Amino acid sequence: MVPMNSAASLPDDVVRALRCSVCGSPVALAQRVLRCPEGHAFDLARQGYVNLLHARTPAGTADTVEMVAARADFLSAGHYEPLADLVADSLTPIGSGGLVVDAGAGTGYYLAHTLDRLPGTAGLALDVSAVALRRAARAHPRIGAAVWNLWQDWPVATGTAAGLLNVFAPRNPREFHRVLRPDGVLVVASPGPSHLAELRASLGLLDVDRSKQARLDDLLGELFTLDDRAEHTATVTLPAADARRAVLMGPSAHHLERRGLGEQLDRLHEPVVVTLSFTVSRFAKRS
Ligand SMILES: C[S@@+](CC[C@H](N)C(=O)[O-])C[C@H]1O[C@@H](n2cnc3c(N)ncnc32)[C@H](O)[C@@H]1O
Ligand SMILES: [Zn+2]
């Protein structure tokens, strides 16, 4: 069980790693305001995260309140615990201390799981969804959470992260490479072709692209070398409520009106037998 952090703030190691998103200077935290020497200031929200974005992101980018609630409920049922274990196993070679950045952290489930294994390590959860980060900020006492759009240059110091985590989230290889220490480790989790295939077939949703893994390797290959790859495939029975959540927490939730997906989900009352299939890849930096 992950301890809840009632007065969520930003751990010192996270503040040291953050940069002002206006001018790039280091920042300091005082009275729940993050400030740079140029006077740019970012309030820490009551829920413990800081919003460093100064532009709105396009609709349909960030996970919504409903998607985040579905994800939190689904993850708390433990179906993806084997994936959280694989991710944490993959990052443990970095040892304790240092910083792990989770790019597209969502509710912080995987980052919290990883920090449980790495005493003294701090975690920075980056995500464009403030709703998700309210949960991430409280998911572990050593997590600090910042709202940011991963497609832009990150407000994070160069060469600062011992570990970088990317679980089912957008990938920006150039920024992955820049923020990682020279000996840093990048861990990427992606769904295998058969992941939730039965559920997707019964609802007429798109398949996972079979060439996804090859594209991941192509995308990262210029800046990273593949060190290790672990796969997990299992057949599980999802209670109907969790099967609905598995859809409602994914990208299809942005388009529930299409082909009556919402109504189809409402009619789903029986448990569903599905395949879970994940790949967790560990990469090292090319110099
Ligand atoms: C499928 S969810 C995965 C969340 C988390 N890693 C997990 O597996 O529980 C994708 C996440 O990426 C975030 N996201 C999507 N586009 C983003 C962007 N451009 N910048 C930052 N985060 C983004 C969403 O808000 C969402 O939390
Ligand atoms: Zn500044």
Q: Which of 35-39, 111-115, 154-158, 207-211 has the lowest mean pLDDT?
A: 207-211
Give me ligand 2 centre to Cα 35, in Å: 7
Cβ of 144 closer than 6 Å to ligand 1, yes or no, is: no
CB 73 within 8 A of CB 245: yes
**For the chain, how long is the longest CA-to-CA vector?**
58
Distances (CA, A) of 173 to 14, 80, 153, 217, 255: 21, 25, 11, 11, 28
Q: SS3 breakdown of the chain: % helix, strand, coil, rounded to 5? A: 35, 30, 40
Residue 6 confidence (pLDDT) above 60: no
Q: What integer is the mean pLDDT of 153-170?
A: 97
The preferred substitution site among 21, 53, 127, 280 for testing ligand 1, maximizing ligand atoms within 8 Å of CB, is 127
Give me ligand 1 centre to Cα 126, in Å: 9
The helix or strand, by DSSP H or E, that contains position 231, with its residue range, turns out to be: strand 224-238
CB 17 within 8 A of CB 184: no
Per DSSP, helices labelled H in the chain are 12-17, 65-76, 81-91, 109-117, 130-139, 173-179, 197-203, 212-221, 240-248, 261-266
Residue type (1 letter), 10: L
Global pTM reads 0.94
Q: What integer is the mean pLDDT of 249-273?
A: 83
CB 106 within 8 A of CB 127: yes
Half-sphere exposure of 95 (CA within 13 A, CB side): 3
* Other Cβ atoms closer than 10 A to 172: 19
Cβ of 127 closer than 6 Å to ligand 1, yes or no, is: yes
* Nearest residue to 110 via CA among 166, 157, 69, 61: 166
Cβ of 61 closer than 6 Å to ligand 1, yes or no, is: yes
Q: Whose alpha carbon is nearest atom 27 of ligand 1?
A: 106
pLDDT digits (tens, 9 = 90+) for 163-213: 999 999 999 999 999 999 999 999 999 998 899 999 888 887 777 677 778
**Across the chain, what does the average pLDDT equal?**
91
Residue 3 confidence (pLDDT) above 60: no
Tell me how long the chain is.
287
12, exposed or middle or buried, with CB in 10 Å at 0-12, 13-18, 19+? exposed
Cβ of 80 closer than 6 Å to ligand 1, yes or no, is: no
Quick one: which atom of ligand 1 is closest to the CA of 151?
19
Quick one: which atom of ligand 1 is closest to the CA of 149?
20
- Taking the C-alpha atoms of residue 18 and residue 125, their distance in angstroms, rounded to an integer, is 11
The preferred substitution site among 129, 166, 188 for testing ligand 1, maximizing ligand atoms within 8 Å of CB, is 129
How does DSSP assign 182-211, residue by residue?
EEEEEEEEEE-TTTTHHHHHHHTPPPPPTT
125-144 CB burial, b ≥16 within 10 A, e <16: bbbbbbbbbbbbbbbbbbbb
Quick one: which atom of ligand 1 is closest to the CA of 249?
1
* Other Cβ atoms closer than 10 A to 254: 14
pLDDT digits (tens, 9 = 90+) for 63-90: 889 999 999 999 999 999 999 999 999 9
